[in-house]
């Protein structure tokens, strides 16, 4: 095995692992924010680097459907390449992926900036672009000076990818890798498995999917080699490459699919840590906690990918990476959970909607009844605050409240 091949495999392995590591931490739930003021200046009080992420949760039914959905999409790409031709196919989809890559790169740069810049960074100027027609607002865009820096930088990879396609292989490959990194990072950040059961279903289904489309047909290999799209990671075999064939290739699915499982393991470690603490952790502590499941899964991924590359090199044949990565990730979870005596508990665990907050223990309703402050009233459909203040949710059908005014916390009466 030549030095160039070894360095190419090592570079690709490192790149894939770093993407999964960063994407996993990017998927962690941030600390709960205090309620914002409803004043008109609320937007100006937000951080320059604020980026609200709306996560898409993958449940068991969706996980079971992914091999079918993936097969349909892969076959569609294969038929398009065969009957439309690679030139027109790549020209059209390069424009689509280039436009999508602008937003994806911007999201990645924003996350990077938030990591590098402390919370106490000086505020940058903010602007409001408003286009009106008569009294109607056509365009309203509030942005900061940070946006003016990150947005042009986000345009460069997409522009380079579209303009350099089929020309300089080194620069073209670089633009493809940058866009692929941004796509993979944002996928890991926004797509979330809801349980280890779902993750096992997903990896198991795609295990057979990958085997069939790589060994059973030429579809997967044909799409991977002919589609000049940012859906793969590339690393050159030497510094003097003259064509795209001189790169080692790893499909983006071989990063994202196991990465979703690994990110889930990290969030599970985080939730166990948050539940074990008696005080709300600081922002720094929310990313520094014991992570046995995460460490085991990411180490298993590295070992599985090394095995994939070794088999591919010595057999001189493309390998379905999930053939090795899927068992590695699932086995790491089973071994760690079994060793800790938590297999059944962790298998049944299901992540919430991503809005988990650190909350103190809440007493049952009957205990709250017995510990109400002296002189306070027990209210139907209401609650008693720690200071004895009373809040009522009036119910007209309740005979005890019919005809009575709701009593406010300051003792005044209000009519419904």
Catalytic residue ranges: 210, 254
- Residue 213: phi and psi, rounded to 5, are -75, -15
Q: Is 141 helix (H, G, I), strand (E, B) or coil?
A: strand
Which residues have CB under 8 Å from 253's CB, separation 6+? 70, 206, 231, 322
Q: How far is CA 191 from the centre of its chain?
A: 5
Which residues have CB under 8 Å from 212's CB, separation 6+? none
Q: How far is CA 385 from the centre of its chain?
A: 38
- 242, 170 in Cβ contact below 8 A? no
Q: Is 10 helix (H, G, I), strand (E, B) or coil?
A: helix
The DSSP code for 309 is H
* Euclidean distance between CA atoms 408 and 389, whole angstroms: 8
Beta strands in 79-148 (DSSP E): 126-133, 136-144
Q: How far is CA 335 from the centre of its chain?
A: 25
* Euclidean distance between CA atoms 264 and 189, whole angstroms: 11
Q: Is 110 helix (H, G, I), strand (E, B) or coil?
A: helix
* Euclidean distance between CA atoms 345 and 331, whole angstroms: 16
What Rg, from alpha-carbon coordinates, does the chain have? 27
β-bridge partners, 143: 127
Is 263 buried (19+), middle (13-18) or exposed (0-12) by CB count in 10 A?
A: buried
Please report the DSSP string for 51-93 in residue order: -----EEE-HHHHHHHHHHHHHHHHHHHHHHHHT-HHHHHHHH
Angle between helices 219-226 and 60-83 (to 10 degrees): 70
């Amino acid at each position: 095995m030549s030095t160039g091949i070894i360095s190419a495999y090592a570079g690709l392995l490192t790149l894939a692992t770093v993407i999964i590591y960063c994407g996993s931490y990017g998927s962690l739930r941030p600390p709960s924010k205090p309620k914002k003021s409803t004043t008109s200046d609320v937007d100006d009080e937000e951080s320059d680097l604020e980026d609200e992420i709306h996560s898409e949760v993958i449940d068991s039914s969706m996980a079971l459907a992914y091999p079918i959905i993936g097969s349909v999409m892969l076959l569609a790409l294969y038929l398009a390449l065969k009957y439309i031709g690679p030139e027109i196919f790549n020209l059209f989809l390069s424009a689509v992926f280039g436009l999508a890559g602008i937003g994806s790169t911007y999201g990645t740069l924003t996350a990077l900036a938030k990591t590098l810049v402390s919370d106490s960074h000086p505020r940058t100027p903010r602007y409001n672009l408003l286009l009106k027609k008569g009294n109607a607002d056509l365009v309203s865009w509030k942005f900061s000076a940070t946006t003016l820096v990150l947005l042009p930088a986000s345009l460069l990879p997409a522009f380079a990818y579209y303009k350099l396609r089929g020309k300089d292989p080194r620069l073209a490959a670089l633009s493809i890798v940058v866009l692929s990194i941004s796509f993979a990072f944002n996928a890991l950040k926004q797509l979330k498995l809801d349980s280890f059961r779902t993750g096992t279903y997903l990896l198991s289904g795609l295990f057979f999917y990958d085997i069939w489309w790589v060994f059973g047909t030429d579809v997967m290999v044909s799409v991977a080699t002919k589609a000049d799209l940012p859906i793969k990671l590339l690393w050159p075999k030497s510094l003097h490459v003259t064509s795209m064939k001189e790169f080692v290739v790893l499909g983006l699915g071989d990063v994202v699919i196991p990465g979703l499982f690994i990110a889930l393991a990290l969030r599970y470690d985080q939730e166990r840590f948050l539940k074990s603490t008696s005080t709300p952790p600081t922002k720094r502590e929310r990313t520094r906690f014991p992570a046995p499941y995460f460490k085991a899964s990411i180490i298993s991924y590295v070992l599985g990918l090394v095995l994939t590359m070794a088999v591919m090199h010595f057999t001189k044949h493309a390998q379905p990476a999930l053939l090795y990565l899927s068992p590695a990730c699932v086995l790491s979870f089973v071994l760690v959970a079994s060793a800790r005596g938590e297999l059944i508990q962790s298998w049944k665990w299901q992540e919430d909607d991503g809005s988990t907050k650190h909350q103190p223990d809440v007493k049952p309703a009957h205990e709250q009844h017995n510990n109400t402050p002296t002189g306070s009233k027990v209210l139907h459909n209401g609650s008693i605050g720690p200071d004895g203040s009373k809040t009522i949710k009036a119910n007209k059908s309740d005979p005890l409240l019919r005809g009575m005014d709701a009593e406010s916390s300051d003792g005044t009466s209000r009519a419904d």
